[in-house]
Amino acid sequence: MPRLCCVFCVLSCLLPGRGAGFQPADPSAGWKPAPRGLVADEQRLQHAGVRSDGTSLLAFFRKRTARVGQDAVRALVRQLSVRSFASRERAAKTLVERGASAVPQLLQATQSPDAEVRRRAVECLRQIDQNTVPALVASAARLLADRKPPGAAEALLDFLPAVTDETAREAVFSAVIALAVRDGRPDEAVTRALSDEAPLRRAAAAVALCRAGVKEKRGAVRRLLDDVDPMVRLHVGLALVDAGEKDAVPVLIRLLGTLPRSRLWRTEDVLYRLAGDRAPAVALGEDEEAHGALRAAWLAWWRDHGKETDLAGLHVEPFRDWTLLVLLDEGRVLELDSDDKVRFKIDMLALPLDVQSLPGERVLVAEHGANRVTERLRDGTVLWQVRADEPLVAQRLSNGNTFIACKTHLAEVDRDGRAVFRYARPAGNEQFMRARKLPDGTIAAVVQARLRGEQYYVRLDPSGKELARFAVSVYTFGGRLDVQPDGRVLIPQMYDNRVVEYDAQGKSVREFPILQPIAATRLANGNTLITSMLEKRAVEFDLAGKVVWEYKATTRVTRAYRR
């Protein structure tokens, strides 16, 4: 079922110039069936014309299994730009027939400088998507794990490398975990996959056997801590740490800085929960020298405290597919689970303009109306707070400090509330509308000229020196900016009824049409989550511009983040 969420802008006073089942789980987490969700899964498959018996589900995955090498797919993609119309048509048809195996190369082709290639790639993805939408794959995987026909684990493992959507991939991982043991013995296909050439299959098999408690295979699982692929080491390390094996901790530490930050958040969460107050005061950084210093600091901590550190009771946070929302009119922050059920809500917040999920079921909230930033438990208990002048943005940094944006200045404060950084625009002729501190220490912001009302996206170095500037039209205050590693930034242009993705030089590279957008974020699966003021909803667009998820409500929601 599509998910709905509400949205809206900040209160009119913040508009310048306007009037005052079976939950998907990470392979490192356990699998728990939720039968109530299977009914919705059956309905989703029925609507798509797919039967939900075991034989039909096996056929669903086998039909979509990647059986062609990527070199052959690349050759077909190149054919999309040849002069012959007939050749382009044949190549496009063949790519659609390849199905999931063609998706990775087609996704790259959507960024091609050749307009014809981009157009055809998007159309191919749209056609493939009709039968391989992530929600359909996730539902089929959950039902296959429930039906357990012979060959189910093998079919899922064969299919796994073709999955590009993170939510669907996690659902397939969870299903493999559920199928790891058959008739009291480890499934032969799962055991065989420990040495498969595909890293995802090795990782899924190792985690499944570990989580299923197959002790006779634990040695083979441990050997994958030395796997050549860092993602395999990550998945296996988290699973073994969750099982209480200390030898996996140094493996996770050595991964710091070697993978994208989005892949390492569970590792960081585990380490900081284990270390507590003794955690090294070293930030992640951006270059290899900083990465090396971070790894060295954490390894030193482990040498000093590893023997006394107890892993019992430590639970590795799984991938959740949860959505964190801000309901402005109600002064409420709430989080929805993967079935859009409310996990928790915090009420009586004073005009919350930004929120961030933190480890340990905590949230950080910029309370504009109360002149403060608060860190709270899910029941609303305030754990930490700092005064701020009508804060627009609150961002917890990797070094434990908090970055805060107000209209008049930007600041970074430590855990004791002491300012370690403060910056205001020269001559005070511009005010901040939105901002974010990036991993490399630079700052991205939208500023507005006080007298003229003109708005600009600016990129600042750590000292405040301007590195880049181009004109935008945001209109609303509050919230972080979504800036990609390559410098691309998502800018909601509310009165132009679109979200524009700009490159680092300010050139528009992509647009999403939506009525009065107010916030936009890029998700781990490549999709884009946008909130709309007028429509009171949040919408998720896939790479082809198709709506794949939405959530509506009767009150205004200003922010939507996914984790």
Q: How far apart, in whole angstroms, are the C-alpha atoms of residue 540 and residue 413?
A: 33
| Residue-level pLDDT at 384 | 94
Is residue 31 over pLDDT 60?
A: no
Amino acid at 218: R
Region 205-229 average pLDDT? 94
Q: Residue 79 has which token pair?
A: 């054919």
Rg of the Cα atoms in the chain = 24
Domains, the chain: 323-562 (2.120.10.30)
Per-residue confidence band for 519, with pLDDT thresholds at 50, 70 and 90: very high
Query: Cβ distance 374 to 387 under 8 Å?
Result: no
Average pLDDT, the chain: 84
Q: What is the dihedral sign for C-alpha 328, 329, 330, 335?
A: negative
Is residue 514 over pLDDT 90?
A: yes
Q: Which range has the worst mean pLDDT, 73-82, 260-269, 402-411?
A: 260-269
The Cβ-side half-sphere exposure at 302, using a 13 Å CA radius, reads 19
Q: How far apart, in whole angstroms, are the C-alpha atoms of residue 321 and residue 187?
A: 28
Is residue 109 over pLDDT 90?
A: no
Q: How far apart, in whole angstroms, are the C-alpha atoms of residue 402 and residue 511?
A: 32
Q: Determine the Cα angle at 346 with ends 344 and 349, to 5°.
A: 160
Query: Cβ distance 7 to 531 under 8 Å?
Result: yes
Alpha helix ranges (H) inside 397-493: none
Is residue 238 over pLDDT 90?
A: yes
Per-residue confidence band for 62, with pLDDT thresholds at 50, 70 and 90: confident
Query: Cβ distance 77 to 105 under 8 Å?
Result: yes
Looking at the chain, the whole-number percentage of residues with pLDDT higher than 70 is: 87
The Cβ-side half-sphere exposure at 361, using a 13 Å CA radius, reads 11
The Cβ-side half-sphere exposure at 503, using a 13 Å CA radius, reads 5
Nearest to 103 by CA among 49, 161, 26, 53: 161
Cβ atoms < 10 Å from Cβ of 340: 15
Helix, strand, coil % over all residues of the chain, rounded to 5: 40, 25, 35
Query: Cβ distance 120 to 96 under 8 Å?
Result: no
For residue 111, the Cα-to-chain-centroid distance in whole angstroms is: 21
| Residue-level pLDDT at 129 | 63
DSSP E strands in 84-196: the ranges are 181-182, 185-186
Query: Cβ distance 544 to 96 under 8 Å?
Result: no
**pTM of the shown model:** 0.57
pLDDT tens-digit map of 76-101: 999 999 999 999 999 998 888 777 67
